[in-house]
Amino acid sequence: MNFRENIQYIKGVGPKKAQALKKIGIGNIYNLLTYYPKRYSDQSEITAINAIEPDATVNIKGSILNVQEKTSHRGMKIITVILHDGTGTTQVIWFNQPFLKRSLKPGMSLFVRGKTGYAYNGYGQLCIKQVISYFLLDDTNNNQCQFLPLYTLPDMIKPKFYRSVLENVLSTLDNIPCALDRSIIAAYHLLSKTDALRKIHFPQTKNDIKESREMLIFEELFMIQCGLIYMRKINSQNKQGIRCLPNSNLVKKIYKALPFKLTDDQEKVWNEICLDMQSTRPMQRLLQGDVGSGKTVIAVMALVKAVENGWQGALMAPTEVLAKQHFDNFNKLLNPFGIKVGLLIGSLSAKEHNEALQYIKNGEWQIIIGTHALIQDKVQFAKLGLVITDEQHRFGVAQRARLETKAEQTPDVLVMTATPIPRTMTLTVYGDLDVSVIHQLPPGRKNIRTFLRTKNAREKVYQFVLAQIKAGRQAYVVCPLIELSENVGAASAEAIFEELRTGIFKDVNCALLHGKLSAKEKGKIMQDFFTNKVNLLISTTVIEVGVNVPNASIMVVEGAERFGLAQLHQLRGRVGRGSYKSYCILLSDSKSSKTKERLSLMEKISDGFVLAEADLRLRGPGQFFGAMQHGLPDLKIADVLNDTDILLAARKEAEKWCVKKKSMREIIETINLQYEDNFFKITDV
């Protein structure tokens, strides 16, 4: 069987349905097999119609008494089925699926899983308002299993059809590539891959679901670990890295010129980096440190070390605001020592841009700070020896790799992140890197006092902000994006800006910062904020990463419920960066007890790692990972938080297997099949 065969050619699919399936990532047969059910509906758990409660998800079974089609005043087709089960009758409502009128007939028996609510018809009857899945009970296909797999499918693809396609493919399944060797399958008492795939899609018992999940989770985590270990091996063994000498004059002078003494953690990390840079093995290191823990100074020292050894160093920041900030700070510190620092960002004029390219190419610039602009094809370095990416989760692994390829010899790579990543996840996300962590904050930092308040307290909160500003401090007000689109977010920030600027803060210099502004405008506003010309900065999350204004001591977050904890912690890290007592006030009117619980963790926990762990537990890895844009392929079935035991076992096996070159070929074939060559891209085995 050719697992890469286009799904379009499977019996019954055709071009239109294939297109719809492609949108959810199913382009070929292998994708189809590994598109796993989101959940299972236990069909034996049937709710009697007279026991239905509002706002619940229920399974009901009954016979159809009547099928009606209506058109709403907005032109939407509504199909209403009256279903009777001996205890009572209820309506089941579908929108815009007029074809149901033909397939559902009085007298037929129907299974429906759906959300309950009150009908819009004015009589307020309880009904099934949102159908999740349904099928006719006389349909033998569906009657067979107690556990009905539920998939997220496009409207056009009906669950019944989808299952028939799957059944068709599974019935002819042979020789499916499996990353796990027979000996691992036996040692861990796992199902064979073929059995696991059959049972995950067509389980007969609860145990089938459990066993098939175990096998597929093990295989998935094993593949990710093999990929990461292998990438690291290729980087470290086959490539000759550059070798720096032990620290000499320049590094020592700049170390002395720092306005503070490094913390013990900073010292430890600096030593680790020095050792990496002094070895011929290319450095591949992740530097994790909580917000404000002082990672930047470590980056500066590493860049200087590269320069002292005759190399160029590049630092790639996630935003122009941040690149500019680093550029200004680095220049202040390094210019007196004759080190040339340059800036390459998208908003340079054509002339400046060309000059920058020239200076990078001829080696005049020794340290180059930039954004994504650094990875354009046009950028050529004279002698790139060190690549630092700041906030790597905003780039992908692939982008990091692109910057590395701009060097003739394999450069040293340092990835910095302020997103505290729980330990179990570091292994999954950054399994290809060595890890250094700065836990300590610089001395003298005061805890940022955090409060959760409702909108009733808003007036009082802003009075407090005003008092702080009058005392000479600066403040941030962060507004959420209403939709995912930055456009809409700008509108909401705009409204708050207008309200504050013309109201309570009418005598204060306010500015509005959001993603719709040009990079130049953004730069100007940030400059005015750095120099205290602007006292109150109203902003969307553009300011989230890295901005360092020690005089800013208070932050108000509007609509705090819209942010994840990790993100709130990042935002909060913008204050408390100097010696002033600092505050973060979260405004939220959310009624949800879960949301309140989540936000109140911010009041209690100041350690970013502890908070990230809590966030992960509350929101689940999907959203946590989603927000991080980690650059790894989405896990198809494993959940790194709950599957920690399997993760550790898989890691152990992966380490053993990656030593054997011969067996790696098969594993990598499966990896490339599962992730469609778009993550690991391993060809050279």
Ligand X SMILES: Nc1ncnc2c1ncn2[C@@H]1O[C@H](COP(=O)(O)OP(=O)(O)OP(=O)(O)O)[C@@H](O)[C@H]1O
Q: Which residue has the tokens 């990672």?
A: 295
Residues 387-446 that bind ligand X (CB under 6 A): 418, 442
**CA–CA distance from 336 to each of 174, 203, 250, 257, 333 (Å)?**
69, 70, 11, 10, 7
Looking at 573, 576, 621, 633, which residue binds ligand X (CB under 6 A)? 573
Q: Give the residue with the Cβ less far from ligand X, 230 or 530.
A: 530
Residue 297 in the binding site for ligand X (CB under 6 A): yes
Residue 582 in the binding site for ligand X (CB under 6 A): no
**CA–CA distance from 85 to each of 49, 62, 308, 596 (Å)?**
7, 4, 82, 40
Residue 608 in the binding site for ligand X (CB under 6 A): no
Please tell me the distance from the alpha carbon of residue 621 to that of residue 120, in angstroms, as a whole number: 37
Segment holding 55, helix H or strand E: none
577 three-state secondary structure: coil
Looking at 289, 342, 431, 576, which residue binds ligand X (CB under 6 A)? 289
Residue 576 in the binding site for ligand X (CB under 6 A): no
Q: Give the residue with the Cβ less far from ligand X, 296 or 410.
A: 296
Sign of CA dihedral 417, 608, 593, 45: positive
Sign of CA dihedral 174, 178, 181, 187: negative
Among 67-75, 236-244, 289-297, 427-435, the segment contacting ligand X (CB under 6 A): 289-297
- Bridge-based pairing of strands 57-71 and 109-118 is antiparallel
Among 37-45, 122-130, 543-551, 604-612, the segment contacting ligand X (CB under 6 A): 543-551
Looking at 269, 291, 306, 668, which residue binds ligand X (CB under 6 A)? 291
Q: Give the residue with the Cβ less far from ligand X, 231 or 269.
A: 269
Residue span 143-182 as binding mask against ligand X, x where in contact by CB under 6 A, dash where not: ----------------------------------------
Q: Give the residue with the Cβ less far from ligand X, 262 or 461.
A: 262
- Find out whether 311 and 300 touch, Cβ atoms under 8 Å: no
User: What one-character-per-residue DSSP string does 344-366 give?
Assistant: E-TTS-HHHHHHHHHHHHTT--S
Residues 61-80 that bind ligand X (CB under 6 A): none
Looking at 146, 263, 409, 426, which residue binds ligand X (CB under 6 A)? 263
Instruction: Compute the CA torsion angle 408, 409, 410, 416 (nearest 10 deg).
Output: -70
Residue 292 in the binding site for ligand X (CB under 6 A): yes
Q: Shortest approach of ligand X to residue 260 CB, angstroms?
A: 3
- Bridge-based pairing of strands 510-513 and 536-539 is parallel
Q: Give the residue with the Cβ less far from ligand X, 17 or 577.
A: 577
Q: Give the residue with the Cβ less far from ligand X, 114 or 370.
A: 370
- Find out whether 77 and 95 touch, Cβ atoms under 8 Å: yes
CA atoms lying within 13 Å on the CB side of residue 213 = 17
Q: How far is CA 507 from the centre of its chain?
A: 40
Please tell me the distance from the alpha carbon of residue 220 to that of residue 461, in angstroms, as a whole number: 49
Looking at 157, 262, 493, 549, which residue binds ligand X (CB under 6 A)? 262
Reference 239, options 105, 400, 409, 52; nearest CA is 409
Give the number of residues in contact with ligand X, rule: CB under 6 A.
Answer: 19
Reference 606, options 465, 478, 445; nearest CA is 445
Q: Shortest approach of ligand X to residue 254 CB, angstroms?
A: 14
Residue 296 in the binding site for ligand X (CB under 6 A): yes
User: What one-character-per-residue DSSP string does 256-291 give?
Assistant: HHSSSPPPHHHHHHHHHHHHHHHSSSPPEEEEEE-T
Looking at 17, 113, 577, 630, which residue binds ligand X (CB under 6 A)? 577
Among 248-256, 336-344, 365-373, 545-553, the segment contacting ligand X (CB under 6 A): 545-553
Q: Determine the residue with CB nearest ligand X.
A: 294
Q: Give the residue with the Cβ less far from ligand X, 288 or 540.
A: 288
Q: Shortest approach of ligand X to residue 578 CB, angstroms?
A: 7
Among 134-142, 214-222, 236-244, 293-301, the segment contacting ligand X (CB under 6 A): 293-301
Q: Shortest approach of ligand X to residue 550 CB, angstroms?
A: 6
Please tell me the distance from the alpha carbon of residue 32 to that of residue 47, in angstroms, as a whole number: 32
**CA–CA distance from 117 to each of 71, 83, 657 (Å)?**
20, 15, 54
Who's near 582: CB < 8 A, 6+ residues apart?
446, 448, 449, 553, 554, 575, 576
Please tell me the distance from the alpha carbon of residue 450 to that of residue 555, in angstroms, as a whole number: 9
Residue 318 in the binding site for ligand X (CB under 6 A): no
- Bridge-based pairing of strands 284-289 and 147-150 is unpaired
Among 197-205, 285-293, 521-529, 582-590, the segment contacting ligand X (CB under 6 A): 285-293
Among 292-300, 404-412, 460-468, 601-609, the segment contacting ligand X (CB under 6 A): 292-300
Q: Give the residue with the Cβ less far from ligand X, 80 or 548.
A: 548
Residue 266 in the binding site for ligand X (CB under 6 A): yes
581 three-state secondary structure: coil
Residue 628 in the binding site for ligand X (CB under 6 A): no
Among 80-88, 290-298, 488-496, 515-523, the segment contacting ligand X (CB under 6 A): 290-298
Looking at 550, 636, 663, 681, which residue binds ligand X (CB under 6 A)? 550
Q: Shortest approach of ligand X to residue 306 CB, angstroms?
A: 18
Residue 260 in the binding site for ligand X (CB under 6 A): yes
Q: Shortest approach of ligand X to residue 444 CB, angstroms?
A: 7
**CA–CA distance from 44 to each of 59, 151, 164 (Å)?**
9, 19, 22
Residues that bind ligand X (CB under 6 A): 260, 262-263, 266, 289, 291-297, 418, 442, 546, 548, 550, 573, 577
